[in-house]
Structure 1
Amino acid sequence: MDKSILFVGVGGQGTILASKILTQGVLKAGYDVKMSEVHGMAQRGGNVSTQVRFGKRVYSPLIEEGTADVIVAFEKSEAARWISYLKEDGSLVVNNYEIYPITVTTGNEKYPENVNEALKNTVKKTIIINAAEIAESLGNIKAQNVVLLGALIKALELTDIDWEEIVKENVPSKIVDLNLKALKLGLEA
């Protein structure tokens, strides 16, 4: 199984952590893995993208336009922004969540309307998840990244890996239980 996964979101959403957990999981499963991350203006609410490629043998972490098997979007307009990276028969996992950029909050631009519908009309395999709502129901919206990761794991049929152990290794002990619950709900979503 050779897969190219593009994670896209906004700074502070946990995009990089989700990518690292995926990377460690598939590495422990015996795959060759490469990961690359771009922070941009992440600490200022800018976009963040990480690229994870795994398979029998991977030479580069970089995903070219039109070659991603899956895009995981932590914010729905980011899905629209990066859609050109998805291969024709690829899958899109989208958090049904909006973060307004400064240009929208100042009134200079409008947030795009009907993003989910446009994505579904463009990509046959589109999965919309209310990851932020699920995380908030657990008491912490920051767990939305692990909810999305759970959905991705299910979509990739990688459920035979010990993801609980990998989550425990990657999050602070005080929030392990929260993240394990988020992972479970993401797998179910």
Structure 2
Amino acid sequence: MVIIDAALTRFAADGFDRATTAAICRTAGIGSGTFFHYFPTKLDVLLAILELGTAETAAWFAAQQGRADAGGVLGDYVVHAATEYADPRVAGFVKAVGAVMNDERVAAALARDEAVVADGLLPWVRAAQAAGEVRSDVEPARLCAWVLVVLDGFLGRLAGETGFDAAAEQDMLIDTVQRLLAVRSG
């Protein structure tokens, strides 16, 4: 985890192209032999960061099993995501990933992550619709897609606009998703 955390820090600060394995090793306090024992290239460590995020998301959804408040799970996921976005390294890391997203392994990792989020949200949207906790005038998969549009848009703004503060905008993000999901009257 030390190497992954250091790589996240370096990718965020330096971008993918300028982040060097030497800088990652210095930040981690390790030798290059240790780095290369675990990761043949810096792209491999970037992929490991993405895969770790995907695994953490899957674990988050798995931990929600047995809850009876589907709408609460949806709200909690948005808070969970917003809290992760508040890490000051996220904006730079998103830019670093953007620099290599045409690599087929990166594209596949991003697709897996999106699928884990969508597959994690979908049963909760269905259950929340059945319980009357969220709007039911939109198909569940489409509603999930729009939650992802809002979250992805927030990340895009965070990465693209200097001064956009995820922590300061967290309440607006949560409010936006709540309004998207809200039951429509009449």
When Rg is computed on C-alpha atoms for both structures, the one with the higher figure is 2
| Structure with the larger helix share | 2
More RCO (CA 8 Å, sep 6+)? 2
- TM-score for the superposition, normalised by structure 2: 0.25
- TM-score for the superposition, normalised by structure 1: 0.25
| Structure with the larger strand share | 1
